[in-house]
């Protein structure tokens, strides 16, 4: 018993120390490498010592509040959101001398997610006598989409192999009407589910086909997030199947990735890796989040006018230009912000609270349908979704980003598992 308690104590301290080292390393790289190279883009370094203390105080409070019951999917996902979204916001807050009010709003919203995800609910059990192989259905949907996409728009573009040229491809590709949804749903929902279910059933051929499809879509669209998702999902599943702690392993992998990117820059002068980790994943989303707050704290809110709900209700935007282009730092890019920034854009602090409650309820529902056996599939698929929330609104992620489809497929997968072998 004493050894067990001692082991849990060591694990707890390693968990905390991993988070502290991650935050400090992230801030060191930002101050010494990132800011000097990307100051022109808004990644300034004007540190405020008092805000530094506030940042670390908030960091430790939220670290304490994080759900740590790792028999539940939500605990993994909330920690991932803390790593990819909240820590960069807290770091940018004091290093760029950003708004204390918005930082407080983000912390309260995230705290609410943490608290709600601690509740446990039960889903009414449904007896299933027949089932359809969900992975086969997904495969045929994706295969049909790939054929139609190639026939309609041509083959993939090898320019995407050069990361610096992906924006040329993205500028040339235009997807009208339903294509705009499908080009997001397939790599964000269907293929991630297909990959994880293939690994779960140890179907290596189906896995290879799914990986090829995701890689092909990256070459076709030039969307770096599609490429990153391929690595993220496979690594996530691998970690879930080992005895290593999922959260601390990701903290050390991301820290190592950022430090390696710096090493490549110091040795060769290349910024290609830096532009992805940490700039694209962490620095720019945090900076854009504050940029949106700075504008909409003194100008009229959007009131969901740019969303499908606003259009359905006939709400007109107070601006002649789409807000994400209007706030672009260089004037010609799409300055997307995550669910917290978007919620403030549309309804201020109140909507940040409401959307945080909605997100927490979604995570609680996922906990209700997941089982210990299917945990790796659920966590690996939805980890990618939590990272999408660093760049996209919650409602957009639910619809355009495929979160609703992810949950629907995972629910059907769970029912299929119940039909094959009843849960323990």
Instruction: Say which residue the tokens 């100008």 belong to.
Output: 299
pLDDT greater than 60 at residue 126 = no
pLDDT greater than 60 at residue 212 = yes
What spatial distance separates the first Cα and last Cα of the chain, rounded to whole Å?
27
Please report, for residues 40, 90, 271, 404, the alpha-carbon distance to residue 266 in angstroms, rounded to integers and kept in the order given: 20, 27, 9, 43
Under the banding of pLDDT at 50, 70 and 90, the label for residue 81 is very high
- Note whether 165 and 159 are within 8 A (CB): yes
Q: Is the pTM of the predicted complex or chain greater than 0.75?
A: yes
pLDDT greater than 50 at residue 394 = yes
pLDDT, position 132: 62
CA distance 356 to 106: 10
Angle (nearest 5°) at CA 422 between 194 and 200:
25
The predicted-structure confidence for 19-36, as pLDDT tens digits, reads as follows 999 999 999 999 999 999
Cα atoms in the 13 Å half-sphere on the side-chain side of 86: 29
Domain spans of the chain, in order of start? 2-120+244-420, 134-228
């Amino acid at each position: 018993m004493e050894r067990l308690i001692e082991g849990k104590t060591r694990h707890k301290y390693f968990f905390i120390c991993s988070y502290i080292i991650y935050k400090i390393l992230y801030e060191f790289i930002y101050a010494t490498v990132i800011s000097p190279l990307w100051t022109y883009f808004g990644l300034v370094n004007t540190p405020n010592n008092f805000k530094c203390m506030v940042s670390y105080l908030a960091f430790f409070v939220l670290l304490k509040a994080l759900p740590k019951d790792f028999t539940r999917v939500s605990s993994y996902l909330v920690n991932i959101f803390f790593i990819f979204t909240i820590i960069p916001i807290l770091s940018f807050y004091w290093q760029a001398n950003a708004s204390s009010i918005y930082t407080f709003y983000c912390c309260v919203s995230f705290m609410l997610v943490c608290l709600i995800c601690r509740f446990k609910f039960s889903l009414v059990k449904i007896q299933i006598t027949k089932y359809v192989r969900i992975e086969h259905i997904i495969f045929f949907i994706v295969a049909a989409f790939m054929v139609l996409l190639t026939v309609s728009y041509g083959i993939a573009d090898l320019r995407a192999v050069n990361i610096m040229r992906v924006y040329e491809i993205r500028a040339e590709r235009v997807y009208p009407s339903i294509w705009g949804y499908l080009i997001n749903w397939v790599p964000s929902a269907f293929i991630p589910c297909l990959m994880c279910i293939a690994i779960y059933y140890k179907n290596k051929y189906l896995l290879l086909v799914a990986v090829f499809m995701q890689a092909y879509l990256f070459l076709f669209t030039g969307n770096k997030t599609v490429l990153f998702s391929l690595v993220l999902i496979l690594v996530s599943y691998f970690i879930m199947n080992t005895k290593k702690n999922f959260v601390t392993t990701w903290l050390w992998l991301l820290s190592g990735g950022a430090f390696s990117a710096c090493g490549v820059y110091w040795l060769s002068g290349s910024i290609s890796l830096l532009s992805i980790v940490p700039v694209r994943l962490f620095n720019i989303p945090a900076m854009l989040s504050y940029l949106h707050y700075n504008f909409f704290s003194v100008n009229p809110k959007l009131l969901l006018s740019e969303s499908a709900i606003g259009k359905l209700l006939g709400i007109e935007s107070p601006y002649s230009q789409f807000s994400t282009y209007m706030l672009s730092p260089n004037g010609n890019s799409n300055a997307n912000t995550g669910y917290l920034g978007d919620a403030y854009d549309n309804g201020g602090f109140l909507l940040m609270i409401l959307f945080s409650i909605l997100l927490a309820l979604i995570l609680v529902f996922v906990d209700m349908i997941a089982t210990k056996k299917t945990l790796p599939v659920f966590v690996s698929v939805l980890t990618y979704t939590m990272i999408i929330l660093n760049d996209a609104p919650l409602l957009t992620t639910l619809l355009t980003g495929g979160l609703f489809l992810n949950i629907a497929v995972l629910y059907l997968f769970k029912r299929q598992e119940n039909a094959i072998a009843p849960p323990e």
